[in-house]
């Protein structure tokens, strides 16, 4: 498409002087309401003509649409306003026929102005209407281009916001004694008959003495550690359990809270929650009874997570034990000041929702369609009680810290301070409730029809283009995901294997939402498909039995036998001749399976997936009974059709995985690891992938792009569209492709990220991103690390960081040497996230002064006799080489000492721990190797690099491990004395 070039601004201004329409000037008393407000459009012509340009106050930037009718441009004023005038500053591509419309909700629109004689230039329109949203809706263009506006200015007045809620219960904690008519004070370490440690693994004992009023209108819950290291804290619940969100109403639970603010908060776990009434007295029906975390943070991170817990655990439609969670993200100032944390249960919509807020700004939302009717109603349609508590230690603080909490260094005396708690209601309209659609009757009949180069996939006689995603959540939990996929425009999902217990549920839940399933049957990669007849006979029988069990489910689209077996045959240490023989044997076996499936089920096609089109010649020669070909292709998707042409194939194909370029397809970055595409490049990668497939719809019958997965790990960030249960840019790229509609709300856009190339271990790492949100939503951040390029582990670790400004952070660098990935997550409060990443090399910290221990004699209580380079000798800890190490035997106490040769003053010690580190150890000096003086000791070591300023002197320096972090012994890469 030819790009529409803007007429130079000076010339346009001269022309506009003669074309200005005199419908009436903007009223001088009115306020410009639209400038800088979130603005969206039906389409945009290019990356430089975004919708936001029309409300940025800059007459040199513009929005322009694609070259089609109709088109729209919409601005969100943030609250309901009285609209009195609108100014349109057109570029040369103006609207001949258009309307100005308003809306209270962005869905239902009212016309307040219309014309079929638009003249372009600058049009000042006198209008009269009210609404939060104002839209230009163009139906006829003046020429062959689209619509283009330098500025879209909306004028009017806004009334002060009014609270439509009526308080039905509250407590402002006046006086000096807690109102026990309102509150039940819990004591001990568990509910009566419930799980120990409150079911969360926390270590505190709840006591009434830790719950006090300060006499100035504040409730204080204090966590205290006694001299023996035992923690006590407090937990209170409302006596009432009848706070029920009613149909046709909005129900709000709120509390004004200051989170604990202590020097070392490892293990602190403050919370404000609403729990289903039936939990009281039962304590075994969580999470199906429903619980919301309205406010929770851990370890003093200046963050906030908000969550709905429901369904079954583990997993289930709510993804337990994590729940449907916002994830931890910025809560700036929440430890130093009071903030209002709220949730609103909105039962005025068919798709009911729970919205979460901080100080009136939305921070999270969960909808009924995201968890399923049954799980939602069980979790939401009943009374609740409210709970405030300050837990210490437990599953969440431990998981976020990556270690057991609290530690000996955790500060005692932290306070969760509460100003007020309230319950309020607002009455709206009772909607038609959401219900489950009926299961379609009978099995579907699916055929590949047509002639060479002009094929169609048909379902029950109707053409069917596969618009799909590979499916990652638990199959038994499908009810929590199928509506979301349907709303995304997906009509097909693909699985890799059959779960005999859960796949029938998946098929039925998918069929209820009009979604078909490409059912995968797993075949072992690297198996001997020439000689292992026992395996082949067994797996063929298993597949046919499963086909017979599943074939009558209306959700079945086709059967997919095997995944990437031909390509990966080269990965198993076989000779080239053996690889070739097994590849041919595999293709022949696939043909046998296809024949057996056809005999059992003539109503569904059979295909087989591999990772490259280089597998297709094997199928062409040895598997003629396949109904169509299949391939997984990412960065090479543009070559697939040409490979099909060049191969002279006589069957169509379906793309069973696709998306942005993968780790195996990209060049290395400055640190020598694969250069992951940016978040926005991935967004465009999905669009380009679908366009390449859709360009040949009578040969490429569609695709299941990769991947609708929940994994929040190295691969999940790279290729998931639903990472962590949050919608990514790729999600919306596919929604646009599959529905042709512009989404109403999309993730924050991170346009750049800056980190240094290297950083000293344990030092300060400066991170910055430039981020904007297309709808102007509140952006909150989190940071994560990956050590995949060091250890191969794909999980991510939470970063300890300080948010120093909008999009700027100071993070604690990892202690382990090597190339790490750091990720910045930008959440928008509407279920969306932008994620950007960079690599950074962690190098040894530079210590001023002379390392007196390097090359000096070292001895130890023991050493491991074997290792990657032989015995793990004491001398390896003082050789200056971070690739060699001392390791003790697997004992509870061990020591390593170095002889400096003479008595020396000692000011600093550096310990570079291997993974087998000490949680407890002491440093000592001696002048004779017999009498020792302690310089330092800790019971809360966390491994990595320990850089310790000390004061002492001696000829001998010794580190003694007293408590291990692992079941191994103690191991040091280096032991430096300065």
Higher pLDDT pick, 482 / 36: 482
Neighbours of 517 (CB within 10 A): 27
Average pLDDT value for residue range 340-353: 98
Instruction: Look at residue 108 in the predicted model and tell me its pLDDT.
Output: 85
355 occurs within a structural domain: no
54 occurs within a structural domain: yes
The tokens for 121 are: 């230039």
**Residue 847, CA atoms < 13 Å, CB-side half-sphere:** 23
Both 509 and 630 in one domain: the answer is yes
Q: Is the pLDDT of residue 325 over 50?
A: yes
Q: Is the pLDDT of residue 2 over 50?
A: no
Q: Is the pLDDT of residue 29 over 60?
A: no
Nearest Cα residue to 107 out of 446, 350, 354, 328:
350
What is the helix (H) or strand (E) element at residue 576, kind and residue range?
helix 576-600
Domain-terminating residue out of 158, 174, 205:
158
DSSP class per residue in 627-650: SSEEEE-STTGGGHHHHHHHHT--
Give the Cα separation of 99 and 137 in Å (integer).
5
Nearest Cα residue to 824 out of 815, 814, 833:
833
Could you read off the pLDDT of 204-219 as tens digits, one per residue? 999 999 999 999 999 9
At 369, the pLDDT band (50, 70, 90 cuts) reads: very high
Domain-terminating residue out of 739, 768, 794:
739
359 occurs within a structural domain: no
Both 517 and 577 in one domain: the answer is yes
Q: Using only the alpha carbons of the chain, give its radius of gyration.
A: 32
Average pLDDT value for residue range 657-670: 98
Instruction: Look at residue 15 in the predicted model and tell me its pLDDT.
Output: 29
434 occurs within a structural domain: no
Instruction: Look at residue 828 in the predicted model and tell me its pLDDT.
Output: 97
Query: What number of residues does the chain have?
Result: 978
What is the helix (H) or strand (E) element at residue 840, kind and residue range?
strand 833-843
Average pLDDT value for residue range 955-966: 97
At 409, the pLDDT band (50, 70, 90 cuts) reads: very high
Q: Which sign does the torsion angle of CA 74, 75, 81, 86 carry?
A: negative
Neighbours of 648 (CB within 10 A): 8
Q: Is the pLDDT of residue 5 over 60?
A: no
441-450: b or e for each residue (b if 16 or more CB lie within 10 Å)?
eebbebbbeb
Percent pLDDT > 70 in the chain is 97
- The answer to which of 28-37, 261-270, 370-379, 410-419 has the lowest mean pLDDT is 28-37
Which region holds residue 105: left if phi is over 0, alpha if psi is between -120 and 50, else beta? alpha
Phi, psi of 681 (to 5 degrees): -65, -40
Nearest Cα residue to 690 out of 721, 667, 714, 663:
721
Instruction: Look at residue 43 in the predicted model and tell me its pLDDT.
Output: 86
Which 3 state secondary structure label does DSSP give 128?
A: strand
Q: Helix count (H) and strand count (E) of the chain?
A: 14, 54
- Tell me the β-bridge partners of 771: 750
Q: Is the pLDDT of residue 576 over 50?
A: yes
The one-character DSSP state at 800 is P
Both 730 and 758 in one domain: the answer is no
Both 549 and 694 in one domain: the answer is yes
36 occurs within a structural domain: yes
What CATH number does residue 27 fall under? 2.60.120.260
Residues 6+ apart with CB under 8 A from 839: 669, 670, 671, 673, 789, 819, 820, 821, 822
Both 171 and 154 in one domain: the answer is no
Q: Is the pLDDT of residue 3 over 60?
A: no
Residue 726: domain span: 446-739
What is the helix (H) or strand (E) element at residue 684, kind and residue range?
helix 679-694
Could you read off the pLDDT of 532-575 as tens digits, one per residue? 999 999 999 999 999 999 999 999 999 999 999 999 999 999 99
956 occurs within a structural domain: yes
Phi, psi of 583 (to 5 degrees): -65, -45
DSSP class per residue in 38-86: -EEES--SSTTS-GGGGGSS-TT--EE--SSS-EEEEEEEEEEEEEEEE
**Residue 540, CA atoms < 13 Å, CB-side half-sphere:** 21
Both 374 and 281 in one domain: the answer is yes
Domain-terminating residue out of 673, 707, 739:
739
Could you read off the pLDDT of 437-474 as tens digits, one per residue? 999 998 999 999 999 999 999 999 999 999 999 999 99
Give the Cα separation of 7 and 143 in Å (integer).
14
Instruction: Look at residue 162 in the predicted model and tell me its pLDDT.
Output: 63
Whether the upstream peptide bond of residue 707 has omega within 30° of 0, thus cis, is yes
Average pLDDT value for residue range 306-334: 97
Could you read off the pLDDT of 834-847 as tens digits, one per residue? 999 999 999 999 99
Both 73 and 98 in one domain: the answer is yes
Instruction: Look at residue 23 in the predicted model and tell me its pLDDT.
Output: 38
Give the Cα separation of 388 and 271 in Å (integer).
6
Contacts 24+ apart (CB under 8 A), 640-645: 640/613, 640/692, 640/693, 640/700, 641/692, 641/695, 641/696, 641/699, 641/700, 643/613, 643/616, 644/613, 644/616, 644/699
Both 478 and 331 in one domain: the answer is no
Both 527 and 574 in one domain: the answer is yes
Average pLDDT value for residue range 749-770: 97
Residues 6+ apart with CB under 8 A from 825: 327, 329, 781, 782, 783, 784, 833, 834, 835
Q: ∠592-594-595 over CA atoms, to 5°? A: 65
Residue whose tokens read 């729990």: 275
At 107, the pLDDT band (50, 70, 90 cuts) reads: confident
pTM of the prediction?
0.83
Could you read off the pLDDT of 578-611 as tens digits, one per residue? 999 999 999 999 999 999 999 999 999 999 999 9
Instruction: Look at residue 27 in the predicted model and tell me its pLDDT.
Output: 38
Both 408 and 498 in one domain: the answer is no
Both 624 and 709 in one domain: the answer is yes
Whether the upstream peptide bond of residue 287 has omega within 30° of 0, thus cis, is yes
DSSP class per residue in 159-171: PPP----EEEEEE
Neighbours of 541 (CB within 10 A): 11
Q: What is the 3-state secondary structure (H, E, C) of 883-942?
A: CCCEECCCCCCEEEEEEEEEEEEEEEEEEEECCCCEEEEEEEEECCCCCCEEEEEECCCC
Q: Is the pLDDT of residue 9 over 70?
A: no
What CATH number does residue 286 fall under? 2.60.120.200
Q: In Å, how far from its chain's centre is CA 972?
A: 36
The tokens for 906 are: 């000692």
Percent pLDDT > 90 in the chain is 92
Mean pLDDT computed over every residue of the chain: 95
Both 763 and 724 in one domain: the answer is no
Q: Is the pLDDT of residue 13 over 80?
A: no
432 occurs within a structural domain: no
Q: Is the pLDDT of residue 18 over 50?
A: no
What CATH number does residue 608 fall under? 3.20.20.80
Instruction: Look at residue 78 in the predicted model and tell me its pLDDT.
Output: 83
Q: Is the pLDDT of residue 150 over 50?
A: yes
Give the Cα separation of 671 and 676 in Å (integer).
12
Task: Please give the C-alpha separations between residue 924 and each of 242, 896, 909, 953, in angstroms, as whole numbers.
Answer: 62, 11, 11, 10
4 occurs within a structural domain: no
Q: Which sign does the torsion angle of CA 903, 906, 910, 914 carry?
A: positive
Could you read off the pLDDT of 825-834 as tens digits, one per residue? 999 999 999 9
Q: What is the 3-state secondary structure (H, E, C) of 483-552?
A: HHHHHCCCCEEECCCCCCCCHHHHHHHHHHCCCEEEEEECCCCCCCCCCCHHHHHHHHHHHHHHHHHHCC
Number of domain units in the chain: 5
Give the Cα separation of 845 and 106 in Å (integer).
55
């Amino acid at each position: 498409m030819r790009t529409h070039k803007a007429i130079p601004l000076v010339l346009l201004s001269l022309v506009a002087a003669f074309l200005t329409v005199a419908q009436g000037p903007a009223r001088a008393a009115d306020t410009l309401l639209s400038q800088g407000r979130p603005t969206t459009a039906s389409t945009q012509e290019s990356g430089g003509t975004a919708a936001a340009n029309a409300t940025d106050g800059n007459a040199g930037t513009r929005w322009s649409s694609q070259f089609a009718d109709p088109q729209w441009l919409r601005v969100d004023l943030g609250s309901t306003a009285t609209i009195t005038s609108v100014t349109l500053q057109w570029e040369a591509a103006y609207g001949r026929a258009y309307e100005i419309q308003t809306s209270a909700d962005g869905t239902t629109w009212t016309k307040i102005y219309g014309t079929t004689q638009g003249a372009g230039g600058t049009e000042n329109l006198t209008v009269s209407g009210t609404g939060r949203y104002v839209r230009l809706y163009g139906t006829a263009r003046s020429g062959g281009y689209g619509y283009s506006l330098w500025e879209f200015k909306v004028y009017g007045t806004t009334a002060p916001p009014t609270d439509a809620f009526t308080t039905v219960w509250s407590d402002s904690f006046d006086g000096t004694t807690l109102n026990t008519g309102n509150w039940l004070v819990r004591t001990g370490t568990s509910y009566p008959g419930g799980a120990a440690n409150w079911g969360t693994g926390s270590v505190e004992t709840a006591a009434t003495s830790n719950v006090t009023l300060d006499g100035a209108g504040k409730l204080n819950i204090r966590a205290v550690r006694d001299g023996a290291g035992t923690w006590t804290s407090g937990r209170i619940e409302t006596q009432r359990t009848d706070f029920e969100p009613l149909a046709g109403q909005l129900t709000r639970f709120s509390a004004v809270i200051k989170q604990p603010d202590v020097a070392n908060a490892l293990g602190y776990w403050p919370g404000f929650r609403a729990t289903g009434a039936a939990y009281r007295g039962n304590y075994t029906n969580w999470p199906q009874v429903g619980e919301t975390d309205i406010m929770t943070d851990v370890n003093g991170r200046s963050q906030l997570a908000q969550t709905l817990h429901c369904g079954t655990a583990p997993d289930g439609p709510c993804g337990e034990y994590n729940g449907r969670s916002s994830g931890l993200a910025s809560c700036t100032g929440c430890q130093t000041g009071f903030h209002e944390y709220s949730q609103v249960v909105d039962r005025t919509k068919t798709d009911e929702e729970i919205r979460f807020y901080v100080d009136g700004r939305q921070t999270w939302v969960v909808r009924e369609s995201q968890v399923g009717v049954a799980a939602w109603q069980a979790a939401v349609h009943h009374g609740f009680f409210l709970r405030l508590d300050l837990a210490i230690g437990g599953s969440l603080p431990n998981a976020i810290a990556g270690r057991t909490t609290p530690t000996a260094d955790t500060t005692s005396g932290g306070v969760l301070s509460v100003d007020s708690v309230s319950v309020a209601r607002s009455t709206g309209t009772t909607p038609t409730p959401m219900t489950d659609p009926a299961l379609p009757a009978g099995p579907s009949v699916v055929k590949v029809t047509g002639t060479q180069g002009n094929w169609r996939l048909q379902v029950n006689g109707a053409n069917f283009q596969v618009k799909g995603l590979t499916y990652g959540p638990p199959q038994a939990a499908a009810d929590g995901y199928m509506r979301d996929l349907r709303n995304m425009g997906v009509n097909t999902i693909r699985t890799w294997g059959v779960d005999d217990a859960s796949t029938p549920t998946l098929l039925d839940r998918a069929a209820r939402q009009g979604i078909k399933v490409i059912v995968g049957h797993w075949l072992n990669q690297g198996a001997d498909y020439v000689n292992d007849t026992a395996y082949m006979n067994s797996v063929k029988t298993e597949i046919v039995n499963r086909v017979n069990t599943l074939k009558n489910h209306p959700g079945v689209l086709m059967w997919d036998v095997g995944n990437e077996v031909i390509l990966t045959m080269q990965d198993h240490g076989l000779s080239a001749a053996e690889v070739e023989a097994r590849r041919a044997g595999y293709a022949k076996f696939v043909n046998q399976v296809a024949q057996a499936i056809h005999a059992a089920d003539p109503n569904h096609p059979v295909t087989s997936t591999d990772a490259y089109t280089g597998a297709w010649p094997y199928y062409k020669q040895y598997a003629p009974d396949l109904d169509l070909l299949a391939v997984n292709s990412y960065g090479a998707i543009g070559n697939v059709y040409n490979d099909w042409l060049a191969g002279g194939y006589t069957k169509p194909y379906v793309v069973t995985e696709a998306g942005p370029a993968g780790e195996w397809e990209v060049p290395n970055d400055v640190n020598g690891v694969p250069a992951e595409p940016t978040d926005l490049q991935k967004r465009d990668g999905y669009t380009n992938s679908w366009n390449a497939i859709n360009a040949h719809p009578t040969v490429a019958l569609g695709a299941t792009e990769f991947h609708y997965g929940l994994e929040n790990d190295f691969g999940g960030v790279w290729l998931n569209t639903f990472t962590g249960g949050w919608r990514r840019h790729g999600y919306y790229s596919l929604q646009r492709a599959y529905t042709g509609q512009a989404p109403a709300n999309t993730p924050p856009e991170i346009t750049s990220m800056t980190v240094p190339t290297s950083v000293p271990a344990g030092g300060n790492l400066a991170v910055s991103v430039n981020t904007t949100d297309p709808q102007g939503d509140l952006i909150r951040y989190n940071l994560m690390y990956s050590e995949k390029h060091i250890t191969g582990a794909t999980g991510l670790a939470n970063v300890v960081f300080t948010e120093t400004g909008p999009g700027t952070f100071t993070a604690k660098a990892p202690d382990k040497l090597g190339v790490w990935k750091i990720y910045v997550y930008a959440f928008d409060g509407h279920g969306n996230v932008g994620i950007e990443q960079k690599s950074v090399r962690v190098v040894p910290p530079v210590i001023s002064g002379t390392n007196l221990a390097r090359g000096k004699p070292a001895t130890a209580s023991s050493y491991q006799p074997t290792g990657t380079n032989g015995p793990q000798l004491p001398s390896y800890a003082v050789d200056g080489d971070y690739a060699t190490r001392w390791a003790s035997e697997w004992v509870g106490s061990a020591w390593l000492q170095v002889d400096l040769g003479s008595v020396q003053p000692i000011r600093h010690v550096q310990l570079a721990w291997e993974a087998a580190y000490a949680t407890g150890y002491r440093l000592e000096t001696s002048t004779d190797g017999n009498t020792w003086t302690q310089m330092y000791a800790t019971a809360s070591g966390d491994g990595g690099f320990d850089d310790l300023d000390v004061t002492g002197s001696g000829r001998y320096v010794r580190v003694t491990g007293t408590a291990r972090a692992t079941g191994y012994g103690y191991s040091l890469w280096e032991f430096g004395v300065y």
